Structure 1
Amino acid sequence: MALIDRKVPKSVIVENEADTTRNAEKEIIKKGKIGSTRKNIKVSPSTLNLIKAVCTMKSMKNYELVDEAIEYYIKNTMSEREQRILKNLNQ
Structure 2
Amino acid sequence: MKKLKIIFVITLVTIFFFLFYHYNGTVTEGYFTVNEEDIIVESDKTFLFLDNNKIEVPQNLVDNIKSGERHHIRFSGNRLFKNNTELDIIEADNT
TM range (shorter): under 0.3
Between 1 and 2, higher relative CO (CA 8 Å, sep ≥ 6) is seen in: 2
TM-score, scaled to structure 2: 0.24
TM-score, scaled to structure 1: 0.25
| Greater percentage in helix | 1
| Greater percentage in strand | 2
Structure possessing the higher radius of gyration over alpha carbons: 1
